[in-house]
Structure 1
Protein backbone atom coordinates (compact mmCIF):
# COMPACT_ATOMS: atom_id res chain seq x y z
CA UNK A 1 0.00 0.00 0.00
CA UNK A 2 1.28 3.51 -0.76
CA UNK A 3 2.44 5.54 2.16
CA UNK A 4 0.23 8.47 3.27
CA UNK A 5 1.57 11.98 2.64
CA UNK A 6 2.85 13.67 5.74
CA UNK A 7 0.33 16.17 7.12
CA UNK A 8 1.92 19.62 7.72
CA UNK A 9 2.12 20.56 11.35
CA UNK A 10 -0.33 23.40 12.26
CA UNK A 11 2.47 24.96 14.28
CA UNK A 12 4.78 25.01 11.27
CA UNK A 13 2.11 26.70 9.05
CA UNK A 14 1.55 29.39 11.63
CA UNK A 15 5.29 30.05 11.84
CA UNK A 16 5.50 30.47 8.04
CA UNK A 17 2.65 33.00 8.06
CA UNK A 18 4.33 34.96 10.87
CA UNK A 19 7.57 35.05 8.91
CA UNK A 20 5.77 36.40 5.83
CA UNK A 21 4.05 39.12 7.90
CA UNK A 22 7.36 40.04 9.49
CA UNK A 23 8.99 40.32 6.06
CA UNK A 24 6.28 42.68 4.83
CA UNK A 25 6.55 44.73 8.01
CA UNK A 26 10.33 45.09 7.57
CA UNK A 27 9.82 46.19 3.94
CA UNK A 28 7.28 48.84 4.99
CA UNK A 29 9.56 50.14 7.78
CA UNK A 30 12.46 50.35 5.32
CA UNK A 31 10.37 52.33 2.81
CA UNK A 32 9.22 54.73 5.51
CA UNK A 33 12.81 55.16 6.68
CA UNK A 34 13.97 56.02 3.16
CA UNK A 35 11.16 58.56 2.77
CA UNK A 36 12.01 60.23 6.08
CA UNK A 37 15.69 60.35 5.19
CA UNK A 38 14.98 61.98 1.82
CA UNK A 39 12.66 64.55 3.38
CA UNK A 40 14.57 65.40 6.54
CA UNK A 41 18.06 63.99 6.15
CA UNK A 42 21.39 65.85 6.00
CA UNK A 43 20.60 67.26 2.56
CA UNK A 44 17.90 69.42 4.17
CA UNK A 45 19.54 70.04 7.54
CA UNK A 46 20.75 73.54 6.63
CA UNK A 47 17.21 74.59 5.74
CA UNK A 48 16.05 73.65 9.22
CA UNK A 49 18.82 75.45 11.07
CA UNK A 50 17.63 78.90 9.98
CA UNK A 51 14.20 79.78 11.37
CA UNK A 52 11.97 81.66 8.92
CA UNK A 53 11.79 85.42 9.51
CA UNK A 54 8.61 86.63 11.18
CA UNK A 55 6.12 88.62 9.16
CA UNK A 56 5.12 92.11 10.09
CA UNK A 57 1.57 93.34 9.36
CA UNK A 58 0.80 93.04 5.67
CA UNK A 59 -1.36 96.12 5.43
CA UNK A 60 -0.47 99.68 6.34
CA UNK A 61 -3.07 101.93 7.86
CA UNK A 62 -3.64 105.38 6.47
CA UNK A 63 -4.64 106.85 9.82
CA UNK A 64 -5.05 105.42 13.31
CA UNK A 65 -8.74 104.99 14.06
CA UNK A 66 -10.29 107.87 15.95
CA UNK A 67 -13.70 108.31 17.43
CA UNK A 68 -16.32 109.69 15.05
CA UNK A 69 -16.87 113.43 15.39
CA UNK A 70 -19.54 115.80 14.13
CA UNK A 71 -18.89 116.86 10.55
CA UNK A 72 -18.82 120.53 11.48
CA UNK A 73 -16.08 120.14 14.08
CA UNK A 74 -12.59 121.12 12.85
CA UNK A 75 -9.79 118.58 13.19
CA UNK A 76 -8.07 118.78 16.57
CA UNK A 77 -4.80 120.68 16.68
CA UNK A 78 -1.68 118.78 17.60
CA UNK A 79 -0.76 118.91 21.28
CA UNK A 80 2.26 121.18 21.44
CA UNK A 81 3.88 120.29 24.76
CA UNK A 82 4.38 117.06 26.63
CA UNK A 83 3.41 116.72 30.31
CA UNK A 84 6.25 117.79 32.57
CA UNK A 85 5.62 114.80 34.81
CA UNK A 86 7.40 111.77 33.34
CA UNK A 87 4.80 109.33 34.59
CA UNK A 88 2.01 111.28 32.88
CA UNK A 89 4.04 111.35 29.68
CA UNK A 90 4.64 107.60 29.95
CA UNK A 91 0.91 106.89 30.28
CA UNK A 92 0.17 109.14 27.30
CA UNK A 93 2.79 107.47 25.08
CA UNK A 94 1.70 103.94 26.03
CA UNK A 95 -1.90 104.80 25.17
CA UNK A 96 -0.79 106.11 21.76
CA UNK A 97 1.32 102.99 21.16
CA UNK A 98 -1.64 100.77 22.00
CA UNK A 99 -3.97 102.70 19.66
CA UNK A 100 -1.64 102.79 16.65
CA UNK A 101 -0.14 99.32 17.02
CA UNK A 102 -3.56 97.89 17.77
CA UNK A 103 -4.53 99.06 14.26
CA UNK A 104 -1.40 97.66 12.63
CA UNK A 105 -1.62 94.27 14.31
CA UNK A 106 -5.36 93.80 13.86
CA UNK A 107 -4.97 94.14 10.09
CA UNK A 108 -2.51 91.23 10.11
CA UNK A 109 -4.58 88.95 12.39
CA UNK A 110 -2.46 89.72 15.44
CA UNK A 111 -3.84 91.21 18.61
CA UNK A 112 -2.23 93.84 20.79
CA UNK A 113 -1.78 92.62 24.34
CA UNK A 114 -0.69 95.16 26.89
CA UNK A 115 2.66 94.59 28.60
CA UNK A 116 2.78 94.55 32.37
CA UNK A 117 4.16 98.01 33.11
CA UNK A 118 6.33 98.47 36.21
CA UNK A 119 7.11 102.08 37.18
CA UNK A 120 10.16 102.66 39.40
CA UNK A 121 12.74 105.32 40.17
CA UNK A 122 16.51 104.84 39.83
CA UNK A 123 16.75 101.38 41.42
CA UNK A 124 15.33 98.05 40.35
CA UNK A 125 16.11 94.81 42.14
CA UNK A 126 16.75 91.64 40.11
CA UNK A 127 14.54 92.22 37.04
CA UNK A 128 14.21 89.50 34.38
CA UNK A 129 16.01 86.99 36.63
CA UNK A 130 19.09 89.23 36.65
CA UNK A 131 21.03 89.33 39.89
CA UNK A 132 21.72 92.73 41.43
CA UNK A 133 20.39 96.28 41.25
CA UNK A 134 19.80 98.04 37.94
CA UNK A 135 18.31 101.21 36.46
CA UNK A 136 16.95 102.46 33.16
CA UNK A 137 14.25 101.09 30.85
CA UNK A 138 13.99 97.35 30.32
CA UNK A 139 11.65 94.86 28.66
CA UNK A 140 11.44 91.23 29.82
CA UNK A 141 10.12 89.09 26.98
CA UNK A 142 9.62 86.03 29.17
CA UNK A 143 7.08 87.77 31.40
CA UNK A 144 6.02 90.61 29.05
CA UNK A 145 7.04 93.10 31.73
CA UNK A 146 7.99 96.64 30.75
CA UNK A 147 10.14 98.41 33.36
CA UNK A 148 10.30 102.20 33.06
CA UNK A 149 12.62 104.31 35.20
CA UNK A 150 11.09 107.70 36.03
CA UNK A 151 14.41 108.93 37.43
CA UNK A 152 16.06 108.23 34.09
CA UNK A 153 13.32 110.07 32.18
CA UNK A 154 13.50 113.02 34.57
CA UNK A 155 17.27 113.23 33.99
CA UNK A 156 16.69 113.46 30.25
CA UNK A 157 14.21 116.31 30.70
CA UNK A 158 16.44 118.16 33.14
CA UNK A 159 19.71 117.89 31.22
CA UNK A 160 18.38 118.26 27.67
CA UNK A 161 15.24 120.39 28.00
CA UNK A 162 15.26 121.44 24.34
CA UNK A 163 14.70 117.83 23.23
CA UNK A 164 13.69 116.29 26.56
CA UNK A 165 10.08 115.62 25.53
CA UNK A 166 11.16 113.81 22.38
CA UNK A 167 13.97 111.94 24.15
CA UNK A 168 11.66 110.72 26.91
CA UNK A 169 9.03 109.66 24.38
CA UNK A 170 11.65 107.80 22.34
CA UNK A 171 12.87 105.86 25.38
CA UNK A 172 9.33 104.74 26.27
CA UNK A 173 8.49 103.84 22.65
CA UNK A 174 11.76 101.95 22.14
CA UNK A 175 11.18 99.82 25.23
CA UNK A 176 7.60 99.16 24.09
CA UNK A 177 8.84 98.24 20.59
CA UNK A 178 10.55 95.20 22.09
CA UNK A 179 7.10 94.12 23.27
CA UNK A 180 5.81 94.52 19.70
CA UNK A 181 8.68 92.30 18.53
CA UNK A 182 7.51 89.62 20.93
CA UNK A 183 3.90 89.85 19.74
CA UNK A 184 4.85 89.25 16.09
CA UNK A 185 7.48 86.60 16.79
CA UNK A 186 10.69 88.58 16.31
CA UNK A 187 12.01 87.87 19.81
CA UNK A 188 11.61 84.11 19.37
CA UNK A 189 13.14 84.25 15.89
CA UNK A 190 16.28 85.98 17.16
CA UNK A 191 16.51 83.60 20.11
CA UNK A 192 16.30 80.54 17.83
CA UNK A 193 18.76 82.01 15.36
CA UNK A 194 21.21 82.81 18.15
CA UNK A 195 21.00 79.22 19.41
CA UNK A 196 21.55 77.81 15.91
CA UNK A 197 24.53 80.03 15.17
CA UNK A 198 26.30 79.26 18.42
CA UNK A 199 28.33 81.52 20.72
CA UNK A 200 31.13 82.13 18.23
CA UNK A 201 29.00 83.49 15.36
CA UNK A 202 27.94 86.95 16.38
CA UNK A 203 25.51 87.14 19.30
CA UNK A 204 26.29 90.86 19.60
CA UNK A 205 25.53 91.38 15.92
CA UNK A 206 22.10 89.81 16.44
CA UNK A 207 21.49 92.07 19.42
CA UNK A 208 22.40 95.13 17.35
CA UNK A 209 19.96 94.03 14.65
CA UNK A 210 17.21 93.51 17.20
CA UNK A 211 17.79 97.00 18.60
CA UNK A 212 17.60 98.51 15.11
CA UNK A 213 14.38 96.64 14.39
CA UNK A 214 12.96 98.21 17.56
CA UNK A 215 14.04 101.67 16.37
CA UNK A 216 12.46 101.11 12.97
CA UNK A 217 9.21 100.15 14.71
CA UNK A 218 9.46 103.32 16.81
CA UNK A 219 9.75 105.25 13.55
CA UNK A 220 6.59 103.60 12.18
CA UNK A 221 4.76 104.70 15.32
CA UNK A 222 6.16 108.26 15.17
CA UNK A 223 4.97 108.52 11.56
CA UNK A 224 1.39 108.55 12.84
CA UNK A 225 1.73 109.75 16.44
CA UNK A 226 3.44 113.03 15.46
CA UNK A 227 0.17 114.17 13.89
CA UNK A 228 -1.27 114.33 17.40
CA UNK A 229 1.84 115.09 19.48
CA UNK A 230 3.78 118.00 18.03
CA UNK A 231 6.94 117.35 20.06
CA UNK A 232 7.61 114.12 18.13
CA UNK A 233 9.70 116.02 15.59
CA UNK A 234 11.84 113.77 13.35
CA UNK A 235 14.21 116.70 12.74
CA UNK A 236 15.15 116.65 16.43
CA UNK A 237 15.81 112.91 16.69
CA UNK A 238 19.56 113.24 16.18
CA UNK A 239 19.81 115.61 19.17
CA UNK A 240 17.46 113.41 21.20
CA UNK A 241 19.58 110.30 20.59
CA UNK A 242 22.69 112.26 21.56
CA UNK A 243 20.99 113.29 24.81
CA UNK A 244 20.11 109.66 25.56
CA UNK A 245 23.69 108.49 25.04
CA UNK A 246 25.07 111.32 27.18
CA UNK A 247 22.69 110.50 30.02
CA UNK A 248 23.67 106.83 29.90
CA UNK A 249 27.32 107.80 30.37
CA UNK A 250 26.59 110.44 33.01
CA UNK A 251 24.47 108.11 35.14
CA UNK A 252 27.19 105.49 35.06
CA UNK A 253 29.60 108.04 36.51
CA UNK A 254 27.15 109.32 39.14
CA UNK A 255 27.11 106.20 41.27
CA UNK A 256 23.70 105.04 40.05
CA UNK A 257 23.06 101.35 39.37
CA UNK A 258 24.09 100.16 35.90
CA UNK A 259 21.58 100.23 33.09
CA UNK A 260 19.93 96.85 32.65
CA UNK A 261 19.59 97.51 28.91
CA UNK A 262 21.97 100.32 27.84
CA UNK A 263 20.89 102.36 24.84
CA UNK A 264 24.43 102.85 23.50
CA UNK A 265 24.32 99.83 21.17
CA UNK A 266 24.28 100.33 18.23
CA UNK A 267 25.66 103.77 17.38
CA UNK A 268 23.43 106.81 16.91
CA UNK A 269 23.92 106.98 13.14
CA UNK A 270 22.51 103.48 12.63
CA UNK A 271 19.65 104.17 15.03
CA UNK A 272 18.78 107.42 13.25
CA UNK A 273 18.83 105.75 9.84
CA UNK A 274 16.34 103.06 10.81
CA UNK A 275 14.18 105.46 12.78
CA UNK A 276 13.86 107.55 9.63
CA UNK A 277 13.10 104.48 7.50
CA UNK A 278 10.16 103.77 9.78
CA UNK A 279 9.05 107.42 9.81
CA UNK A 280 9.37 108.00 6.06
CA UNK A 281 7.55 104.81 5.08
CA UNK A 282 5.09 104.53 7.94
CA UNK A 283 5.25 100.83 7.09
CA UNK A 284 6.57 98.30 9.64
CA UNK A 285 7.22 95.83 6.84
CA UNK A 286 10.23 97.96 5.90
CA UNK A 287 11.79 96.86 9.21
CA UNK A 288 11.93 93.29 7.86
CA UNK A 289 14.84 94.33 5.64
CA UNK A 290 17.03 94.17 8.73
CA UNK A 291 16.55 90.39 8.88
CA UNK A 292 18.89 90.01 5.91
CA UNK A 293 21.57 91.62 8.09
CA UNK A 294 21.00 88.99 10.78
CA UNK A 295 21.17 86.18 8.27
Structure 2
Protein backbone atom coordinates (compact mmCIF):
# COMPACT_ATOMS: atom_id res chain seq x y z
CA UNK A 1 0.00 0.00 0.00
CA UNK A 2 1.58 3.33 -0.99
CA UNK A 3 2.22 6.01 1.66
CA UNK A 4 -0.22 8.89 1.63
CA UNK A 5 1.41 11.95 0.18
CA UNK A 6 1.08 15.30 1.97
CA UNK A 7 -0.38 17.86 -0.33
CA UNK A 8 1.85 20.89 -0.84
CA UNK A 9 0.79 24.02 1.00
CA UNK A 10 -1.51 26.22 -0.90
CA UNK A 11 -0.26 29.51 -2.20
CA UNK A 12 -2.56 31.39 0.18
CA UNK A 13 -1.19 29.66 3.29
CA UNK A 14 2.42 30.31 2.26
CA UNK A 15 1.65 33.98 1.69
CA UNK A 16 0.10 34.29 5.17
CA UNK A 17 3.17 32.75 6.80
CA UNK A 18 5.45 35.09 4.88
CA UNK A 19 3.38 38.12 5.89
CA UNK A 20 3.38 37.00 9.54
CA UNK A 21 7.17 36.60 9.50
CA UNK A 22 7.59 39.97 7.82
CA UNK A 23 5.38 41.62 10.45
CA UNK A 24 7.49 40.19 13.29
CA UNK A 25 10.66 41.32 11.53
CA UNK A 26 9.33 44.84 11.07
CA UNK A 27 8.28 44.96 14.71
CA UNK A 28 11.77 43.95 15.87
CA UNK A 29 13.39 46.52 13.57
CA UNK A 30 11.03 49.21 14.88
CA UNK A 31 11.90 48.39 18.49
CA UNK A 32 15.61 48.56 17.69
CA UNK A 33 15.20 51.89 15.89
CA UNK A 34 13.23 53.40 18.78
CA UNK A 35 15.89 52.27 21.25
CA UNK A 36 18.64 53.77 19.11
CA UNK A 37 16.70 57.03 18.76
CA UNK A 38 16.19 57.32 22.50
CA UNK A 39 19.86 56.66 23.18
CA UNK A 40 21.47 58.57 20.32
CA UNK A 41 18.68 60.72 18.89
CA UNK A 42 18.90 64.44 18.06
CA UNK A 43 18.16 65.64 21.60
CA UNK A 44 21.05 63.71 23.08
CA UNK A 45 23.29 64.44 20.12
CA UNK A 46 22.73 68.19 20.56
CA UNK A 47 23.58 67.86 24.23
CA UNK A 48 26.83 66.13 23.33
CA UNK A 49 27.70 68.82 20.80
CA UNK A 50 27.15 71.66 23.27
CA UNK A 51 30.36 73.09 24.71
CA UNK A 52 31.06 71.59 28.13
CA UNK A 53 30.78 73.95 31.08
CA UNK A 54 34.01 75.58 32.18
CA UNK A 55 36.08 73.17 34.21
CA UNK A 56 39.59 72.66 35.41
CA UNK A 57 41.15 69.46 36.70
CA UNK A 58 40.58 68.93 40.38
CA UNK A 59 43.43 69.71 42.69
CA UNK A 60 45.28 66.75 44.08
CA UNK A 61 44.88 66.24 47.82
CA UNK A 62 48.12 64.99 49.25
CA UNK A 63 47.68 61.98 51.51
CA UNK A 64 49.35 62.32 54.90
CA UNK A 65 52.47 60.25 55.30
CA UNK A 66 52.69 57.59 57.96
CA UNK A 67 54.63 58.69 61.04
CA UNK A 68 58.26 57.76 60.94
CA UNK A 69 59.31 54.89 63.17
CA UNK A 70 62.85 56.13 63.53
CA UNK A 71 64.06 59.45 64.94
CA UNK A 72 63.74 62.21 62.37
CA UNK A 73 66.90 64.25 61.87
CA UNK A 74 66.70 67.99 62.27
CA UNK A 75 65.29 69.65 59.16
CA UNK A 76 67.79 71.52 57.06
CA UNK A 77 67.13 75.26 56.69
CA UNK A 78 64.80 76.18 53.85
CA UNK A 79 66.60 77.48 50.77
CA UNK A 80 66.55 81.24 50.32
CA UNK A 81 63.79 82.51 48.07
CA UNK A 82 64.82 83.68 44.62
CA UNK A 83 64.92 87.41 43.89
CA UNK A 84 63.57 88.88 40.68
CA UNK A 85 65.98 89.82 37.89
CA UNK A 86 66.04 93.55 37.21
CA UNK A 87 65.84 93.09 33.43
CA UNK A 88 62.25 92.61 32.27
CA UNK A 89 63.27 90.30 29.43
CA UNK A 90 65.00 88.00 31.91
CA UNK A 91 62.00 88.12 34.23
CA UNK A 92 59.70 87.14 31.36
CA UNK A 93 61.90 84.12 30.58
CA UNK A 94 61.83 83.11 34.24
CA UNK A 95 58.07 83.47 34.46
CA UNK A 96 57.44 81.49 31.28
CA UNK A 97 59.43 78.57 32.70
CA UNK A 98 57.47 78.89 35.92
CA UNK A 99 54.00 78.87 34.32
CA UNK A 100 54.95 75.88 32.20
CA UNK A 101 56.03 73.95 35.30
CA UNK A 102 53.01 74.93 37.42
CA UNK A 103 50.25 74.84 34.80
CA UNK A 104 51.78 71.92 32.92
CA UNK A 105 51.70 69.77 36.05
CA UNK A 106 48.22 70.95 36.94
CA UNK A 107 46.70 70.25 33.52
CA UNK A 108 48.34 66.83 33.45
CA UNK A 109 45.89 65.83 36.20
CA UNK A 110 43.02 66.20 33.73
CA UNK A 111 42.51 65.62 30.04
CA UNK A 112 44.43 68.72 28.97
CA UNK A 113 47.94 69.27 27.72
CA UNK A 114 49.85 72.47 28.32
CA UNK A 115 50.97 74.11 25.09
CA UNK A 116 53.40 76.97 25.19
CA UNK A 117 52.04 80.24 23.85
CA UNK A 118 53.98 81.87 21.06
CA UNK A 119 55.94 84.56 22.90
CA UNK A 120 56.46 87.94 21.24
CA UNK A 121 58.28 90.71 23.12
CA UNK A 122 58.55 94.26 21.85
CA UNK A 123 59.09 97.80 23.10
CA UNK A 124 56.79 100.78 22.86
CA UNK A 125 54.22 99.73 20.29
CA UNK A 126 53.48 97.09 17.69
CA UNK A 127 50.90 96.37 15.02
CA UNK A 128 47.92 94.60 16.55
CA UNK A 129 47.94 91.11 15.01
CA UNK A 130 44.71 89.61 16.39
CA UNK A 131 41.79 91.12 14.47
CA UNK A 132 42.08 94.62 13.10
CA UNK A 133 45.02 96.69 11.98
CA UNK A 134 46.50 99.47 14.05
CA UNK A 135 49.19 100.15 16.61
CA UNK A 136 48.91 98.88 20.15
CA UNK A 137 50.96 98.84 23.33
CA UNK A 138 51.02 97.01 26.62
CA UNK A 139 50.39 93.30 27.14
CA UNK A 140 47.78 91.20 25.34
CA UNK A 141 46.99 87.66 24.20
CA UNK A 142 45.71 86.50 20.80
CA UNK A 143 43.61 83.31 21.11
CA UNK A 144 43.57 82.69 17.36
CA UNK A 145 47.25 81.78 17.11
CA UNK A 146 47.94 81.38 20.84
CA UNK A 147 50.41 84.26 20.84
CA UNK A 148 51.41 86.24 23.92
CA UNK A 149 52.58 89.80 23.25
CA UNK A 150 54.51 91.57 26.01
CA UNK A 151 55.62 95.21 25.92
CA UNK A 152 58.92 95.38 27.82
CA UNK A 153 58.62 99.16 28.15
CA UNK A 154 55.29 98.64 29.91
CA UNK A 155 56.87 96.14 32.31
CA UNK A 156 59.77 98.53 32.97
CA UNK A 157 57.24 101.27 33.70
CA UNK A 158 55.48 99.09 36.28
CA UNK A 159 58.80 98.56 38.02
CA UNK A 160 59.70 102.23 38.04
CA UNK A 161 56.22 103.44 39.02
CA UNK A 162 56.14 101.54 42.33
CA UNK A 163 59.52 99.90 42.99
CA UNK A 164 58.41 98.39 46.31
CA UNK A 165 55.93 96.13 44.48
CA UNK A 166 57.35 96.47 40.98
CA UNK A 167 58.55 92.88 40.68
CA UNK A 168 55.18 91.58 41.81
CA UNK A 169 53.41 93.99 39.42
CA UNK A 170 55.44 92.79 36.45
CA UNK A 171 54.85 89.14 37.36
CA UNK A 172 51.12 89.66 37.83
CA UNK A 173 50.79 91.48 34.48
CA UNK A 174 52.51 88.63 32.64
CA UNK A 175 50.71 85.79 34.43
CA UNK A 176 47.34 87.51 33.91
CA UNK A 177 47.91 87.31 30.15
CA UNK A 178 49.14 83.71 30.48
CA UNK A 179 45.86 83.01 32.30
CA UNK A 180 44.00 84.04 29.12
CA UNK A 181 46.06 81.39 27.33
CA UNK A 182 44.95 78.85 29.94
CA UNK A 183 41.31 79.80 29.33
CA UNK A 184 41.92 79.18 25.66
CA UNK A 185 43.52 75.77 26.24
CA UNK A 186 40.67 74.39 28.34
CA UNK A 187 37.94 75.77 26.08
CA UNK A 188 36.51 78.46 28.32
CA UNK A 189 37.08 81.20 25.73
CA UNK A 190 34.97 79.19 23.28
CA UNK A 191 32.36 78.54 25.96
CA UNK A 192 32.04 82.28 26.62
CA UNK A 193 31.90 83.09 22.90
CA UNK A 194 29.05 80.61 22.44
CA UNK A 195 27.10 82.41 25.14
CA UNK A 196 27.71 85.74 23.41
CA UNK A 197 26.74 84.38 20.00
CA UNK A 198 23.57 82.85 21.43
CA UNK A 199 22.61 86.11 23.11
CA UNK A 200 22.53 84.42 26.49
CA UNK A 201 20.77 86.35 29.24
CA UNK A 202 23.87 86.56 31.39
CA UNK A 203 24.15 90.31 31.77
CA UNK A 204 25.40 91.03 28.27
CA UNK A 205 28.88 90.89 26.74
CA UNK A 206 30.20 93.50 29.17
CA UNK A 207 29.51 91.27 32.13
CA UNK A 208 30.98 88.26 30.36
CA UNK A 209 34.11 90.24 29.54
CA UNK A 210 34.36 91.39 33.16
CA UNK A 211 33.97 87.80 34.39
CA UNK A 212 36.64 86.68 31.91
CA UNK A 213 39.10 89.31 33.15
CA UNK A 214 38.41 88.57 36.82
CA UNK A 215 38.82 84.87 36.06
CA UNK A 216 42.25 85.65 34.60
CA UNK A 217 43.05 87.49 37.85
CA UNK A 218 41.94 84.50 39.88
CA UNK A 219 44.10 82.15 37.80
CA UNK A 220 47.06 84.52 38.19
CA UNK A 221 46.43 84.20 41.92
CA UNK A 222 46.46 80.39 41.62
CA UNK A 223 49.85 80.64 39.94
CA UNK A 224 51.07 82.96 42.70
CA UNK A 225 49.89 80.51 45.36
CA UNK A 226 52.54 78.07 44.16
CA UNK A 227 55.11 80.62 42.98
CA UNK A 228 55.38 82.25 46.44
CA UNK A 229 57.19 79.14 47.64
CA UNK A 230 60.05 79.94 45.29
CA UNK A 231 59.93 83.64 44.44
CA UNK A 232 60.57 86.06 47.26
CA UNK A 233 58.73 88.97 45.62
CA UNK A 234 55.34 87.21 45.41
CA UNK A 235 53.66 88.05 48.74
CA UNK A 236 49.95 87.83 49.68
CA UNK A 237 50.29 90.92 51.89
CA UNK A 238 51.28 93.00 48.84
CA UNK A 239 48.27 92.15 46.67
CA UNK A 240 46.33 95.37 47.29
CA UNK A 241 49.35 97.66 46.90
CA UNK A 242 50.39 95.80 43.76
CA UNK A 243 46.93 96.06 42.17
CA UNK A 244 46.75 99.75 43.06
CA UNK A 245 50.09 100.30 41.33
CA UNK A 246 49.03 98.36 38.21
CA UNK A 247 45.65 100.10 37.86
CA UNK A 248 47.17 103.54 38.47
CA UNK A 249 49.90 102.95 35.90
CA UNK A 250 47.38 101.67 33.32
CA UNK A 251 45.19 104.74 33.78
CA UNK A 252 48.19 107.04 33.45
CA UNK A 253 49.37 105.35 30.26
CA UNK A 254 45.91 105.65 28.72
CA UNK A 255 46.14 109.44 29.06
CA UNK A 256 49.58 109.85 27.44
CA UNK A 257 49.09 111.95 24.25
CA UNK A 258 49.84 110.03 21.05
CA UNK A 259 50.44 106.74 22.84
CA UNK A 260 49.10 103.63 21.13
CA UNK A 261 46.06 102.19 22.91
CA UNK A 262 46.44 99.19 25.19
CA UNK A 263 44.26 96.21 24.28
CA UNK A 264 44.26 94.89 27.84
CA UNK A 265 44.99 97.81 30.16
CA UNK A 266 44.47 95.63 33.28
CA UNK A 267 41.88 98.09 34.58
CA UNK A 268 38.75 95.93 34.06
CA UNK A 269 36.66 95.80 37.18
CA UNK A 270 37.04 97.71 40.43
CA UNK A 271 40.00 97.39 42.74
CA UNK A 272 37.81 95.49 45.22
CA UNK A 273 36.67 92.99 42.56
CA UNK A 274 40.17 92.36 41.29
CA UNK A 275 41.55 92.07 44.81
CA UNK A 276 38.79 89.61 45.79
CA UNK A 277 39.40 87.23 42.90
CA UNK A 278 43.17 87.48 42.98
CA UNK A 279 42.98 86.61 46.69
CA UNK A 280 40.59 83.73 45.91
CA UNK A 281 43.18 82.15 43.63
CA UNK A 282 46.09 83.05 45.90
CA UNK A 283 44.58 81.62 49.09
CA UNK A 284 43.10 78.44 47.60
CA UNK A 285 45.54 77.60 44.81
CA UNK A 286 42.51 75.93 43.20
CA UNK A 287 41.35 77.18 39.77
CA UNK A 288 38.02 75.42 40.24
CA UNK A 289 37.19 77.99 42.92
CA UNK A 290 37.55 80.65 40.26
CA UNK A 291 34.62 79.18 38.33
CA UNK A 292 32.25 80.71 40.89
CA UNK A 293 32.42 83.71 38.56
CA UNK A 294 30.06 81.85 36.24
CA UNK A 295 27.58 80.84 38.92
CA UNK A 296 26.53 84.37 39.82
CA UNK A 297 29.28 85.12 42.35
CA UNK A 298 30.71 88.01 40.32
CA UNK A 299 28.37 90.97 40.63
Give yes or no for TM over 0.5: yes
Note the C-alpha offset of 1:93: 1.0
Q: State whether residues 222 and 232 of structure 1, in contact with CA within 8 Å, keep that contact through their aligned partners in structure 2.
A: yes
Q: State whether residues 60 and 282 of structure 1, in contact with CA within 8 Å, keep that contact through their aligned partners in structure 2.
A: no
**2:52 aligns to what?**
52
Distance 1:236 1:292 in 2: 28
Of residues 264, 268, 280, the one that matches 2:267 is 264
Secondary structure of the structure 1 residue equivalent to 2:55: coil
Listed one character per residue, the Cα deviations across residues 220-244 of structure 1 (whole Å, up to 9, x for unaligned) are: 1111101110100111111111111
Secondary structure of the structure 2 residue equivalent to 1:130: coil
Secondary structure of the structure 2 residue equivalent to 1:215: helix
1:83-122 map, 5 Å: 83-122=85-124
Of residues 150, 153, 161, the one that matches 1:151 is 153
Q: 1:216 to 1:61 in 2, by over 3 A?
A: farther
**1:131 aligns to what?**
133
Note the C-alpha offset of 1:130: 2.2
RMSD, aligned CA: 3.4
**1:11 aligns to what?**
none
Distance 2:290 2:151 in 1: 27
TM-score normalized by the length of structure 2: 0.77
Secondary structure of the structure 1 residue equivalent to 2:150: strand
Q: 1:285 to 1:131 in 2, by over 3 A?
A: same
Secondary structure of the structure 1 residue equivalent to 2:232: coil
Distance 1:207 1:195 in 2: 13
Q: State whether residues 51 and 193 of structure 1, in contact with CA within 8 Å, keep that contact through their aligned partners in structure 2.
A: no
Q: State whether residues 205 and 294 of structure 1, in contact with CA within 8 Å, keep that contact through their aligned partners in structure 2.
A: no
Structure 2 gap ranges (5+): 1-18, 63-73
Q: State whether residues 206 and 294 of structure 1, in contact with CA within 8 Å, keep that contact through their aligned partners in structure 2.
A: no
Distance 1:138 1:205 in 2: 19
Q: State whether residues 202 and 208 of structure 2, in contact with CA within 8 Å, keep that contact through their aligned partners in structure 1.
A: no
Distance 1:130 1:245 in 2: 26
1:200-219 map, 5 Å: 201-219=203-221
Listed one character per residue, the Cα deviations across residues 240-269 of structure 1 (whole Å, up to 9, x for unaligned) are: 111111111211222310101221111121
Q: 1:190 to 1:288 in 2, by over 3 A?
A: same
1:7-26 map, 5 Å: none
Structure 1 gap ranges (5+): 1-16, 63-70
Note the C-alpha offset of 1:76: 2.2
1:165-204 map, 5 Å: 165-197=167-199, 201-204=203-206
* Deviating more after overlay: 262-271 vs 162-171: 262-271
Note the C-alpha offset of 1:60: 3.1
Distance 1:218 1:109 in 2: 21
Distance 1:147 1:107 in 2: 28
Secondary structure of the structure 1 residue equivalent to 2:130: helix
TM-score normalized by the length of structure 1: 0.78
Note the C-alpha offset of 1:110: 1.6
